[in-house]
Chain A
């Protein structure tokens, strides 16, 4: 079984003291211990942003790719070795600005991967510019007169694009977030988990205090297989109105299950041999 010590690397986290990433890191490690995620059954793909540094502090094999491009790397990996639990760490700028197109199509195809979105509502690593999640009116380094645009609704976009598991967690609720991570990974199909992540340095609106005050947990009997009710719920926001938990969870064939080539075993488990292609050439004569 995986222990907390198994997950430790020699590196000390370089996030700002109090960063929401600490909570997400702790939740992931707790989930990994509980669910026994290790280097034989799991892999991580990360994007670029403060979240991406996580790969240096977790002893789980990881690929840190390009800004915005974690999803296509993860889908390539999952397609080749679908026995692996594939986790994507990504950020709000990473996944919805630079990588928005990949998000739409990963949801459509329903790849069996878990997308963990570190949403701090701005660009922190580049010292505080607006992101697709920045609230309207917020002053940032790139919006000195206040952000003119409306934020992107992650969960409703995920649902309308075909995601089959849609949830929201909060970095300050380590136990609840770890539980969502495990359920997201257990779900067969694409799991989209938005994680509310306070940025203590650049985001003075969405603070721990704000989230503590305004988040609430969806009741256990929330009709999470009802598309219409779940979708409506994703539009709920504002004071005392930020739902946490699993909004939507349904079964739909995954991208990987659509290939007969993968029906017996992962592609990687087929021995790589030179193929006889005489039949292909025969048609050319």
Chain B
């Protein structure tokens, strides 16, 4: 990809690779650049290879890229793992004392630095060598050391001022050493811009979802830890006293969903979050919320499956599962976010939808959205208005919780408000009493399913179209592949991109309209069976011929998309 610069920092788990990457990302952002970070790590705490990629550019960057322009090797194995990704002339920083074999690395520019030695001299330990490397990297790329000092102070100073000072010294020593030893530097790519137009935040999807829920007034959260949403759990855990909601880590995901349903029944804005494996356990609660008409927000952060699968890698394999999970039929609202910003707005919206339609709402994200940090403008929340849907006010002698209505939605009462009603997982009559009568069953089933018609009528469920209306080829996709596709589009004039957000109810007319007139269609997904393409065929009858699928846990890179599209176009 032209115009972007990509750095990889690799080392053993426990060497601070991730915070190194985040600090460089922050520095680049504060210096006026767009950034995207992507981490790969095994499901281990110590040992194992961790790597973080920071991609930055003058203009928008929305995904990782295949090519690597600079490698920081914090351990001996890193170069071997990533040498194939390095472009000719790429820079490599490594520990001068680590006896790394340099034969075969002639096409790169090598920058050996005595990382551990300088770390010790600065008063630090082995882990401090990552700060020495950061200083060296910033020195080579002409970055602003003053800004980096501020970042060190903010991230480490709150814990221990002395540790912050040691790290600042280590960074300065790394920078001084590299500028003395390699006075030519590398390329001045990271120089701070004189004026940063609008300051950007560095945010990932877990933060976006957590802050969205807190903004939207969440009152009860139950989450069992699971990658990639564990960081979301910790956001909720540590902010609950300040914002006045309750977070509970339950015994399992079955309890998580049932607690959230109990809380929603009680009248709270309630949610849970999980990954595919945890959602398996939640499926019985999913339908319980459906038939009891209890508002519920579920965040599903996909990762590689099935079973334990690829716990720390990405995949878009759960779409069909979320659309079909649970026996029988009930109205489920399912939306897929394409990035952290969409995850923020869809999560806020999900709370309104859950209460307006009194039914479960799922927001689908994945590892790429949850864990990748991206530079973004501040999210505006001014337009968000809380909508709690149809509610009962006061006591009603003849109150009926499941009263028939044209839009499928009945007035909601809460336990303790004086009204009598039964909230029943058995098929029930209007009051809520168990009933297996044929007419009643058909009426209640139709009432519940009517909600989907009402949603399709009242909500903006249309997909998003990027690029020219009249295109040689139309890419269709959903979820986190959006970022790579937008990067690829920059090199593919004449190609447009249809992004699906609402998966249920499905925007049949608009998708049929856009894809119906497309000259060629390419479906892109990180799963093996093209689940969304199947969904499109089911709803519109349009069969998609070209597919770019990947299911190895890695993201689809923009380079792969450009290559695939050019191949298709060349065959014409």
Contact = CB atoms under 8 A, between A and B. Distances in A.
A101 B232 CA distance: 25
Nearest to B201: A284
Contacts of B388: 272
A80 interface: yes
A67 B214 CA distance: 32
Q: Residue among B248, B251, B384, B416 with the most chain A CB within 10 A?
A: B416
Contact of A73 (B245, B265, B269): B265
A13 interface: no
B425 A72 contact: no
Contacts of B202: 284-285
A105 B259 CA distance: 13
B262 A277 contact: no
B556 interface: no
B424 interface: yes
Contacts of A280: 211, 214, 239
B288 A65 contact: yes
A67 to B, nearest CB: 9
Contacts of A84: 266, 415-416
Nearest to A69: B258
A1 to B, nearest CB: 15
B263 interface: yes
Contacts of B270: 76, 80
B215 interface: yes
Interface string B182-222: 00000000000000000111110001000100111101101
Contacts, number: 196
A267 B219 contact: yes
A64 interface: yes
The interface residues of chain A, by DSSP majority, are classed as mixed
B251 A101 contact: yes
A76 B214 contact: no
A178 interface: no
A81 B433 contact: no
Nearest to B240: A261
Given A76-B222, A80-B263, A284 B207 contact: yes
A74 B262 CA distance: 6
A260 interface: yes
A35 interface: no
A79 B250 contact: no
Given A69-B285, A75-B259, A261 B215 contact: no
A59 B268 CA distance: 23
Contacts of A79: 220, 246, 248, 259, 262-263
B290 to A, nearest CB: 12
Contacts of A273: 217, 386
Given A41-B416, A267-B220, A275-B214, A76 B260 contact: yes
Given A73-B261, A261-B244, A53 B434 contact: yes
B203 A284 contact: yes
Interface in A150-188: none
B423 interface: yes
A277 B261 contact: no
Nearest to A76: B262
B419 interface: yes
Contact of A81 (B240, B248, B266, B425): B266
Interface of B: 199-203, 207, 211, 214-217, 219-220, 222, 239-241, 243-246, 248, 250-252, 254-256, 258-270, 284-285, 288, 292, 378-379, 381, 384-386, 388, 414-426, 433-434
29 contacts: A43-B415, A53-B434, A63-B423, A64-B425, A65-B288, A66-B258, A69-B285, A71-B255, A72-B254, A76-B220, A76-B261, A77-B263, A77-B266, A77-B415, A80-B220, A80-B262, A84-B266, A102-B255, A267-B245, A272-B386, A273-B386, A274-B217, A274-B386, A275-B215, A275-B216, A277-B243, A280-B211, A281-B201, A284-B202
Top 5 A-B pairs ranked by shortest CB distance?
A: A76-B262, A72-B258, A73-B262, A76-B259, A284-B201
